[in-house]
Amino acid sequence: MGQALSTQLATLVLGREARQRLRASQALLVVLVDVLLSFICAFGVWTGLIDAHLALAWSSLTLLGVLTFYAVIRSGWNERLSPTDPALTMVQGVFSVFSTVTAYLICGPVRGASLLAMAITLVSGMFALKPGQVRRLSVLAVLLLGATMVGGHLRWPDRFPIAEEALHFMMVAVVLPAIAVLAGQLSTMRHKLRQHRHDLEQALEHNRQLASRDELTGLYNRRHVMALMHKEVQRAERSGRPMSIALLDIDHFKRINDSCGHAQGDEVLKAFALEVGATVRDTDVLGRWGGEEFMVVLPETDAAGAACVLDRVHERMRNLSFACGSEARGVSFSAGIAAAAPGEALHLTIERADAALYRAKEAGRQRSVVAEALEATETTALAQAARPVTSCAP
């Protein structure tokens, strides 16, 4: 209950989207820092070190500014107003420099303390800005403070004695550029880290591919097909809907290798995989079972439906040819189809498909054999014309 309330509150204050939440929380942190600085200012007023009117004006304007930044980010306008820097870091940095310079002007004898706030501005910029931006911000800060010190001394020599201003300026001129240099180093480290993370993600993706894909054809490998098959069997068991598998084997593939070369054999395997993939449904699973064998898993499809799909694949293969020397050759395949029987172990369904494939080869190749339970009925690619077209719809 309490957690739900705090989640709701966090969503209300920061929004939902992760990046915007981060930006809003950073803007709120700046608001918090400026509220605390306002308290310090109030303490300065109370001790008589800072003029009350000036302190009130400074606090009001500063808080109004940083709250405006928060409101712009929370409303999502930042993404429209500043697509290149949606966190508004640079604008907030410039605002902060001006606000700190103003604090320096109004803080009387304790103005040196406001220089710390300038350092905070640049340090916070280190985490979000590019090195060039932090450099520009530090140059702006040094110049603006320098001008303020000179102007302050010329206008009010008693309040801004030359020795103190020179000392403050030297501090600023050393510390702020040093922060800018550190920001550059931090940015390089961040860049390297990002690059490493990117490389790591790519390596992981490559490993994932290797674990589940066949390198030659790009199809799922046997292990992954098995895993997907198990899932499909479970789904079929739950829904009570049919599911079939088909084991495809290219006919006389050894001859292709022997007479056209292994490299051409590889090309045939790739072309074959493409053709089968283009024929089956997107929801079907196609994988390389090994060598010149391929497995198709057909969810929500009974044996007759699977035979139709395989007939379409046979039909398509008739148009596939490849060059073997100066000769154009065709590719055919045989297939064994098995519909998973309710409660049947997957390896038994595979065995039935394998036995049906064997029968297809035995019967003369370039055909599919459907295994029905323990019996098998034969269909040939040519018999497709005799089937009702509707049952063969893709």
Ligand X SMILES: Nc1nc2c(ncn2[C@@H]2O[C@H](COP(=O)(O)OP(=O)(O)OP(=O)(O)O)[C@@H](O)[C@H]2O)c(=O)[nH]1
Per CB under 6 A, residues contacting ligand X are 216, 249-254, 257, 262, 265-266, 269, 291-292, 361, 365
Number of CB atoms found within 10 A of residue 219's CB: 24
Measured CA to CA, the distance from residue 152 to residue 174 in angstroms comes to 21
Of 73, 66, 68, 69, the residue nearest 15 (C-alpha): 73
Which residue, 144 or 268, has its beta carbon nearer to ligand X? 268
Residue 252 Cβ, how far from ligand X at the closest point, in Å? Answer: 5
Shortest distance in whole angstroms from residue 256 CB to ligand X = 8
Residue 104 or 253 with smaller CB distance to ligand X: 253
Choose between 142 and 313: whose C-beta lies nearer to ligand X.
313
Q: Which is nearer to ligand X, 126 or 247 (CB)?
A: 247
- Token output for 117: 């706030």
Report which residue's Cβ sits closest to ligand X: 265
Nearest distance, CB of residue 228 and ligand X, angstroms:
21
360-367 long-range contacts, CB within 8 A, separation 24+: 360/334, 360/335, 360/336, 361/249, 361/251, 361/334, 365/251, 365/252, 365/332, 365/333, 365/334, 366/251, 366/314, 366/332, 366/333, 366/334, 367/314, 367/334, 367/335
Query: Smallest gap, in angstroms, from Cβ of residue 250 to ligand X?
Result: 6
CB nearer to ligand X: pick between 135 and 367: 367
Between residues 69 and 253, which has the closer beta carbon with respect to ligand X?
253
**Partners of 337 in the β-ladder:** 246, 370
Please, what is the minimum distance in Å from the beta carbon of residue 187 to ligand X?
48
C-alpha 218/C-alpha 318 separation (Å) is 23
User: Is 370 within 8 Å of 377 (Cβ atoms)?
Assistant: yes
